[in-house]
Chains A and B, each alone.
Chain A
Amino acid sequence: MRSNRRQFLLGSAAVLAAGAAGFRPAFAAETDLRQIFWGSQERANRTYKTNDLFTAANPDAKITGEFYAWNDYWPKLATETAGGNAPDIIQMDYRYIVEYASRQAIAPLDDFVGKELDLHDFDQDQIEGGKVNGKLYGISLGANSVASIVNTAAFKEAGVPVPDNNFTYDDLRAACEAFKKANIRGGMKAFQDGSGVEPLLENWLRQRGKALYTADGKLGFDANDATEWFKLWNDLRNDGLIVSADDQALDTGPLDQTMVIQGKAAVTFANSNQLVAFQALTKDPLTITAFPRVGKDGKGGHYRKPSMFWSVAQQSKLQSEAAKYLSFFINDVDANKTVLGIERGIPAAAAVRDAIAPTLSPQDQIALKFVANLGDLLGPIPPPPPSNAGEIDIDLMLKTSQQVAFGQQSPEDAGQAFVQQATEILSRKG
């Protein structure tokens, strides 16, 4: 009986908690906007301050924001949407926008453009990036690109030159060897294990004239490519040049678990706008640089993509108020200059970008210049990934790289298996 009673108490507590979390308080005013986003505490602070500025400028409008880590965000958003309780303002990602737009979970914003939503000096490529089937579903919160996050202090200690945009995979091996010889900070490696990092694989494929996915949603590479990829990293690992399989497996996603923050490696692979968030977690000065080139003439691996969007829920009764907020968020010089900065990416509204550029910290300048000056590294933006591709990114890729790292599969077998399983995932319906 003891356990029944306990279960009952737990059950009722859960019901109460669910009720408290799921239902909007009855006293919330009609113009209270709900907002949801993923990110770090740093991003939340900046966002909430901007919300306060918006309320100061529009006294009737109040915004209640909540934020989650990336992994928790999507389940939360999907369940709230399915439950008819979607927040009004939704942070959206390039990976999911097609899914949400085609299922009518987010609203087209074309009707608000030129009225509530001011896009007069917004970068055209960023507007295009937010379109699905010709309609505007997402307002880009900034351009970004993939980038290596580099701990410059560690490179200095090891006496190794900090990588620049001409850095190749051969240079990577040389830097790793130099780090091994220097043996700083209890055997810190130069690089993390990149074999499970999907954007890095994509970048490597693009430089070789291939793609992760084709426009019709198929795999854009074959088993030979995959084998070569896993072999490249396996050789580095076997020579003790990159972090061990044990250490790399500790990284399950959050930034504080990455190898550069854990002090296991001096370089981690991430996105240009994340420099701010990474820097908030370590005292060592960080910088960003391009992903390695496949050879001296390797180019076109990078692309500028909307780092994230604001979208408006189809279910929202306050779409025009939400559009007004979006407009404030992307256009208000004061909010962008004093609070938002480039934490979400380089602002796409020209006036804002020009106004904030001189006020940025040296480090923010690095990110701004990096995205603006990719040169021949820059290629065209690929189509949004097909549905089900998320499973390849967060599950299959990581699992396969670990199977090689822990010696359960040879790179050859892993390459075959990866392509076969990825194809199966993409062809799966429902």
Chain B
Amino acid sequence: MTVRPLGADSDLPVGGRTATAASPWRQFWRRNGAGYAFLSPWFVGFFGLTIGPALISLYLSFTDFNLLQSPHWVGGANYLRIFTGDAKFMQALRVTFFFAVVSVPLKLAFALAIALLLNRGLKGLPIYRAIFYLPSLLGASVAIAVLWRELFAGDGVINHLLGYFGIAGPSWISNPRYALWTIILLSVWQFGSPMVIFLAGLRQIPQDLYEAAAIDGASRARQFWSVTLPLLTPVIFFNAIIQGIDAFKSFTPAFIISGGTGNPINSTLFYTLYLYQEAFGFFRMGYAAALAWILLIIIAVFTGISFLTSRYWVYYDE
């Protein structure tokens, strides 16, 4: 939609402001009123269920609210403690950043690889696409996290399989060295949604570029690096942003697999899990609200940096 500046088509002289102020508004409403009317349920939800609670949580982050008693103003005490005296906050940041930095590139690489395979004109593509997409639909569910627990437990399926090769595996989900990796694996396994987007992106690349490259003698690998990848960067960028934000907000797998504890030894203490513990486990809602706002700022900064650097590596065909 192109936005016309308000009053741009008004040719009235300066000073006729009071007489004409209604006119652009009336025009605006005539043009957009129906649209806003249809949007109104969404506005109710947006202001009532998103912005409203968000502002209240901002207020609560400066209080000692404990769910049962009315909140008292404590100024910046919550934030001060988070930044100066909270080892678990640092641990939660470490876990979450490690998870995001490792799982997102792995997941995108995997998604791209499968998308490339599926893009080669396979028979029955819709079926394969659906099968590969399935984990994304299931992945965030509690059932899959429970299944994961069973698979990677000490006498779970994975260790039985390893047993055939004479390997005695540890209990993957309860060993602090591996627990986070099982959750990363779970996340990578849910590559379906970026894969579908990659697939759509691959379809957009004009075939004649490949033909031209082939005539110039470019190998398959060369075509991938010089044609596919550059033209796919907007899609990669989009996927990276969405998956990155998701990674920072990841909660369910760690919650289920560790029974809400973030253990063993806080090795799966994701930021959101810590936030949940503080809010609902130990009833420190004010403190948890402060944690939530810091997470919001972290995600905003991360996204901002991505957008700032994007001009150096994202290629828009304009």
Seen from chain A, the residues whose Cβ lies within 8 Å of a Cβ on chain B are 2-3, 8, 11-12, 15, 71, 74-75, 78-79, 81-82, 99-100, 103, 105, 245-250, 252-254, 257, 388, 390-391, 394-395, 398-399, 402-403, 406, 408, 429-430
Contact B174 A78 (CB under 8 A): no
Task: Given A82-B68, A249-B171, A252-B259, verify A402-B283 contact (CB < 8 Å).
Answer: no
In angstroms, Cα B175 to Cα A250, docked, is: 9
Residue in B176, B193, B197 whose beta carbon sits within 8 Å of that of A402 in the complex: B176
Residue in B closest to A196 when the chains form the complex, CB atoms: B263
In angstroms, Cα B64 to Cα A103, docked, is: 14
In angstroms, Cα B136 to Cα A3, docked, is: 13
Contact B173 A250 (CB under 8 A): yes
B66 at the interface (CB under 8 A from A): yes
B157 at the interface (CB under 8 A from A): no
Determine the chain B residues whose CB is within 8 A of the CB of A75 once the complex forms. 279-281
Contact B258 A105 (CB under 8 A): no
Contact A399 B287 (CB under 8 A): no
Determine the chain A residues whose CB is within 8 A of the CB of B230 once the complex forms. none
Contact B261 A247 (CB under 8 A): no
In angstroms, Cα B262 to Cα A252, docked, is: 10
Interface centre among A71, A252, A406, A430, by most B CB within 10 Å? Answer: A430
Seen from chain B, the residues whose Cβ lies within 8 Å of a Cβ on chain A are 42, 45, 49, 64, 66-69, 74, 77, 153-154, 170-171, 173-176, 193, 197, 242, 258-261, 263-266, 277, 279-284, 286-287
Where chain B touches its partner, the secondary structure class is loop
Contact B282 A71 (CB under 8 A): no
Contact A399 B68 (CB under 8 A): no
Residue in B closest to A424 when the chains form the complex, CB atoms: B85
Residue in B170, B171, B263 whose beta carbon sits within 8 Å of that of A252 in the complex: B263
Contact B174 A249 (CB under 8 A): yes
Determine the chain B residues whose CB is within 8 A of the CB of A2 once the complex forms. 197
In angstroms, Cα B155 to Cα A257, docked, is: 13
Determine the chain B residues whose CB is within 8 A of the CB of A11 once the complex forms. 45
In angstroms, Cα B65 to Cα A103, docked, is: 12
> Whole-angstrom distance from the CB of A168 to the nearest CB of chain B?
30
Task: Given A246-B154, A252-B258, A252-B259, verify A403-B265 contact (CB < 8 Å).
Answer: yes
Residue in B closest to A430 when the chains form the complex, CB atoms: B64
**Can you list 10 A-B pairs, Cβ within 8 angstroms, ordered by A?**
A8-B42, A74-B281, A247-B154, A257-B259, A390-B282, A394-B281, A395-B281, A402-B263, A402-B264, A408-B265
Contact A398 B153 (CB under 8 A): no
Residue in A closest to B78 when the chains form the complex, CB atoms: A430
Determine the chain B residues whose CB is within 8 A of the CB of A100 once the complex forms. 68
Contact B260 A250 (CB under 8 A): no
> Whole-angstrom distance from the CB of B124 to the nearest CB of chain A?
23
